[in-house]
Amino acid sequence: MQDVVVDVGPIAHGGHCVARVDGQVVFVRHTLPGERVRIEITESNKKFLRADAVEVIESAPGRVAPPCAYAGQCGGCDFQHVDPAVQRALLGDVVREQLQRLAGIEWSGEVEAVEPDELGWRTRVTFAVDAMGHAGLRRHRSHRVVPVDRCVIAHPDLPQVLGHEWDAESVEAIVSSTGEKLLVTDASISDAVESAVDGVVAVDGTTRGGTGVLTERVRDKDFRVSGSGFWQVHPAAANTLVDAVLDGARVQPGDVVADLYAGVGLFTAFLADAVGESGTVFSVEADQVAAKDARRNLHDAPQVRLVGATTERALRDGLVGEQVDVVVLDPPRTGAKKVVPAIAGLSPRRVVYVACDPAALARDLASFAALGYRLDGLRAFALFPMTHHVECVAVLLRD
Ligand SMILES: C[S@@+](CC[C@H](N)C(=O)[O-])C[C@H]1O[C@@H](n2cnc3c(N)ncnc32)[C@H](O)[C@@H]1O
């Protein structure tokens, strides 16, 4: 591999900074804008190179000693070497750049800190298992497993996966906000391991030692979440996002609301309170297990109509009616490109878009703008400290 020194330019989306080698763009990990570093090229293609900084020749303000012994090897984090406040500033630059470049939107906001804002926040971690049966985490853009004996961003109450031998490819450890613990794995678990872990164990969908279902509590509401079904990972994420969504949606009693990509019904439950019994909330979720959990979670809200279908189908087949007052959407990372025209076709006065990828969000905001929806406000939250991920809540108004 080539060994070269570069002057590092701005941050880019994906946890790396931009530099140039002989005019060619190189995305460099483990560095900061303004640094001079020696790099090792890890990947090359016709358009750009990828590299790791392997020696810091001139450091930039914000560089700190990584709290994790595996920083630089493990692909789970991108910014262990960066002070958390500087991480948020960098993420803000990424959101700004994506909005500007892909949607022509000028955003002057800042990424908001959420406690815990550094370590011990991941309530769900999927560990990979190497050929020797040791659990660890994968290298960046690789299948290789880095065995670890500790993960500093993992929640301290996660069931203990590290330090045991596993006859599996992966093991997901989960702790809920009510303190329940669950392990989900793709292979059978020996009695020795089962008794060594303090918690419930689910194997291949079947369950040993527990129900395989967790209870998550948000404000005064309990939510049932089966197995490794979707739930926000940071312990303060559900509360933070519910607040931001309700604030942006400004729902009135009697309103008709569509909650698209609704999961087990987190936003639906609070939107249902806001519209009251004279209103309606359509809650659209494609995953059958999540939709079943949503049915349990929302059974006491008669104003909720559960739609167990893809958002695409629900909108195409008129399963959320022809006109709604407010749309909330929280799609997967790929965003909602295909459904933006159909959402605009419902003529909501407000759209609240929760996004975990600022690039997909910016692309979709450009489509919304072309259909008469302008950005009224955008908040960004550091819900994944030490990583390049950032959660945004955008509020759009019909012109
Ligand atoms: C980011 S999660 C959001 C869930 C929920 N809003 C929450 O915060 O708990 C996205 C959800 O969309 C669902 N989903 C993925 N593709 C879908 C589609 N095409 N139509 C409907 N739901 C989909 C996933 O199963 C997942 O529950």
Q: What's 154-218 look like in SS3?
A: ECCCCCCCCCCECCCCEEEEEECCCCCEEEEECCCCCHHHHHHCCCEEEECCEEECCCCEEEEEE
Pocket of ligand 1 (CB under 6 A): 230-232, 261-263, 266-267, 284-287, 290, 310-312, 330, 332
Q: Is residue 93 part of a domain?
A: no
Task: State the distance from the centre of ligand 1 to the C-alpha of 121, rounded, in angstroms.
Answer: 22
In this prediction, residues 326-351 reach a mean pLDDT of 98
Q: How confident is the model at residue 224 (pLDDT cuts 50, 70, 90)?
A: very high
- pTM comes to 0.96
Q: Is residue 335 part of a domain?
A: yes
Say if residue 16 is in the same domain as residue 131. Answer: no
> Which residue among 124, 230, 232 is best mutated to probe the pocket of ligand 1, counting the most ligand atoms within 8 A of its Cβ?
230
Q: Is residue 346 part of a domain?
A: yes
Residues with Cβ within 8 Å of residue 133, at least 6 apart in sequence: 165, 166, 167
Say if residue 169 is in the same domain as residue 204. Answer: yes
CB 248 within 8 A of CB 393: yes
Q: Is residue 80 part of a domain?
A: no
Say if residue 177 is in the same domain as residue 304. Answer: no
Q: Is residue 276 part of a domain?
A: yes
Q: Is residue 246 part of a domain?
A: yes
Say if residue 276 is in the same domain as residue 187. Answer: no
Say if residue 153 is in the same domain as residue 278. Answer: no
- Looking at the structure of the chain, the number of domains it has is 3
Output the residue whose Cα is nearest ligand 1's atom 27: 263
Say if residue 108 is in the same domain as residue 134. Answer: no
Say if residue 110 is in the same domain as residue 249. Answer: yes
Say if residue 291 is in the same domain as residue 393. Answer: yes
Say if residue 327 is in the same domain as residue 377. Answer: yes
230 torsion bin: left (phi>0), alpha (psi -120 to 50), beta (else): beta
Say if residue 280 is in the same domain as residue 355. Answer: yes
Say if residue 164 is in the same domain as residue 249. Answer: no
Per-residue confidence (pLDDT) for residue 207, from 0 to 100: 57
pLDDT greater than 90 at residue 129: yes
Report the nearest atom of ligand 1 relative to the CA of 328.
6
151 torsion bin: left (phi>0), alpha (psi -120 to 50), beta (else): beta
DSSP 292: H
Mean of per-residue pLDDT scores for the chain: 93
Residues with Cβ within 8 Å of residue 146, at least 6 apart in sequence: 70, 73, 74, 75, 136, 137, 138, 139
Q: Is residue 331 part of a domain?
A: yes
Q: Is residue 316 part of a domain?
A: yes
Per-residue confidence (pLDDT) for residue 166, from 0 to 100: 86
Structural domain containing residue 42: 3-63
Catalytic residues, which ones?
356
d(C-alpha 41, C-alpha 2), whole Å: 6
Q: What CATH code is carried by the domain that includes residue 39?
A: 2.40.50.140
pLDDT greater than 90 at residue 227: no
